[in-house]
Structure 1
């Protein structure tokens, strides 16, 4: 009565070394399926080189050509397939009459370890957790005066196997390898249901919040974001709308500079505004730019004819092309703090791999992290995930100078954007 899982998702290696892998998803459609697929691909450290999306509202067919962002990241292709299959609705006929059961929240575990501090430690641990498919829900990192680090990671397991001794043993082994002889203790336990693993609200001053979450670029913000070299390219971002080519769909033609997670950002924005894709063509990047054609409908299956709604959706898409991740350096008392923020999906999920990429950027810059936190903040009628890093001033940068801060912001943001 249905299609086997092996036919629902297929992943094929490229014909030649270096060629993209081909991911094909062929299953019943559901709201947000494209977003789930793109989030998972981004979470596995993959870049979408091109793709095609087609659906009639009941069945969808998606083909994506992907390549790893980095040769140092080991992609678990079989695990990727299993994760994608888990998002696909049942192929039985009952799917059309029975809504899927609500998803259960994953158990939250507390990973606690103490070790001697060293440069790049936080990234190395984060990289291992990403490879193990362990999601970082929240983190608390503290450095003591005697150069010891106490790290608290609140994590969930994408494989839902962290309760087993085998899975815990794998995590311990990988962590001990990266921590080495500097490891003093390492513990993993189930977090209390009322514990602070819940998303904590960040306390940010109004002035910093206004600058970090601004809905439009300002001259001051451009300076602080250290993007002057990229502004000419970024200003070319455009969304053209055409209602004349299809009697039942609105065509959105998107032209912008490519960045890591661009397709995810587009899918997230459309999902948050109850807009669905009936057909989409994602060509390869040309001279650093993307030209994407999307035939869209509203949730009720009609074209987007309201000029105000059309303008609002276009504005939101442009903002995601220009400014999907916010990066800022501020003073936090006598200390220097790096802030990284990204919008949270309407489902409550944050953007994948932000903590991983931010810590990698700081490691490459040779800047040690004195403490780190992840929290949530509400601004501009939406929720944001905020990553906060107190920077150790014992580095080659004079953190009190504007030029040094701009260089750090620029390097961090470029790595986050995949430039």
Structure 2
């Protein structure tokens, strides 16, 4: 089936402080590869300042100029980044064959099995920023948080239930679990009363799928496009977004041109939207200017290899891209009885994955705002045929939040998620 080469992914380190590193990927093409690569770059706390990509449908060539995001904790593990990018790249076919030949013969590598799910159970004594500190440790260990249930008792004891997967697929081993325990103990100190990691059972998986429904009022507040447009007028950031299509510059491609303000994960948001709309990029160019604006040119075709000639589909694609760039994540603060609840909705790709580090950013923003978390959970909901990962955070009954403080919380969380902090 061919042997992976280190030259599939190359990283040229910055020549001087402040200069971008250059990540080059050259490998067989596959659907959604650009989106997957951008998700990993975002996961490693990097910002894309320039990008070029091209493909003939069989082989793709992608170059990304990246910088560590301001406030990223610690140095970038470039070797690990290279390994994670390599894992996403299809293996080149043997000489004389191509991926189409292998697919026709049924010889392509089978997709990897779903990672094993584990339950991390923590009993802790509550303190400011506790949940973020736990989340930071899990991210550093390369654990992916699938679901969370956090509850606080009146005596200040916290029960944290994290359903996690391990990027290294080693959590079934004693040494990997001990590594996790040691890291948690070193960061949490006396706040940690007990810890335990076990494989998730079928009963746990059933409970995992159950989560409170969203009320019509909440869905209106978070997913009504007209309200989102109004809210964005007063939100920090450059909201001038232009998305246009042009069929006159190429005989075989439709050109999509985007001009917008920069934000954390911008290129990822573009790539996931294009993928979800079943549009294929043949050539793309991305450039972030020093004044915080971005210019994007994408030469694309439909899944049938033809230009986008239907005007209704052109308008629908432009509207979808504009909305995803205007508000890629939805943030709202609502009253739930005597409690105040923060809701953050993260769109789920057709692959079942979503933007990484959302829970990390939420908990960091609340820690910076000195807000204790009484309850927290993550669940998935389908709204108008789209799946969303919804993060719910409760501040407790004793927190009577003024309008000014509510605005500060929503603004702080939004700024952290968008990279405006």
Same fold (TM over 0.5): yes
- The DSSP-based 3-state class of the residue aligned with 2:288 is coil
Deviation at 1:372, TM superposition (A): 0.3
Q: Which runs of 5+ in 2 are unaligned?
A: 104-108
- Residue 217 of structure 1 corresponds to 227
- Residue 91 of structure 1 corresponds to 92
Distance change (3 Å), C-alpha of 1:373 and 1:65: same
Is the 1:137–1:199 contact (alpha carbons within 8 Å) kept by the matching residues of 2?
Answer: no
Is the 1:367–1:392 contact (alpha carbons within 8 Å) kept by the matching residues of 2?
Answer: no
Cα distance in 2, alignment partners of residues 76 and 160 from structure 1: 19
- Residue 333 of structure 2 corresponds to 329
Is the 1:50–1:64 contact (alpha carbons within 8 Å) kept by the matching residues of 2?
Answer: yes
1:143 is aligned to 2:158: no
Aligned positions of 1:366-405 closer than 5 A: 366-392=370-396, 399=401, 401-405=402-406
- Residue 58 of structure 2 corresponds to 58
Deviation at 1:198, TM superposition (A): 3.8
Deviation at 1:2, TM superposition (A): 4.9
Query: CA deviation digits over 1:234-288, x for unaligned, max 9?
Result: 1x10112111111111111100111111111111111011101111111133411
Deviation at 1:108, TM superposition (A): 0.4
Distance change (3 Å), C-alpha of 1:127 and 1:216: same
Cα distance in 2, alignment partners of residues 176 and 241 from structure 1: 54
Distance change (3 Å), C-alpha of 1:383 and 1:111: same
- Size of the aligned set, in residue pairs, is 410
Deviation at 1:74, TM superposition (A): 4.3
Deviation at 1:158, TM superposition (A): 0.9
1:103 is aligned to 2:104: no
Aligned-pair Cα RMSD in Å:
1.8
Cα distance in 2, alignment partners of residues 7 and 325 from structure 1: 35
- The DSSP-based 3-state class of the residue aligned with 1:217 is helix
Cα distance in 2, alignment partners of residues 287 and 390 from structure 1: 37
- Residue 116 of structure 1 corresponds to 125
Cα distance in 2, alignment partners of residues 199 and 179 from structure 1: 29
Q: Which runs of 5+ in 1 are unaligned?
A: none
Is the 1:369–1:391 contact (alpha carbons within 8 Å) kept by the matching residues of 2?
Answer: yes
Cα distance in 2, alignment partners of residues 200 and 62 from structure 1: 40
Q: Tell me whether 19-28 or 136-145 shows the greater mean CA deviation.
A: 19-28
- The DSSP-based 3-state class of the residue aligned with 1:97 is helix
- Residue 140 of structure 2 corresponds to 131
Query: With structure 1 as the length reference, what TM-score do the two structures score?
Result: 0.94
- Residue 285 of structure 2 corresponds to 281
Distance change (3 Å), C-alpha of 1:98 and 1:2: closer
Is the 1:202–1:377 contact (alpha carbons within 8 Å) kept by the matching residues of 2?
Answer: no
Cα distance in 1, alignment partners of residues 76 and 179 from structure 2: 17
1:294 is aligned to 2:298: yes
Is the 1:20–1:66 contact (alpha carbons within 8 Å) kept by the matching residues of 2?
Answer: yes
Deviation at 1:202, TM superposition (A): 3.7
- Residue 179 of structure 1 corresponds to 188
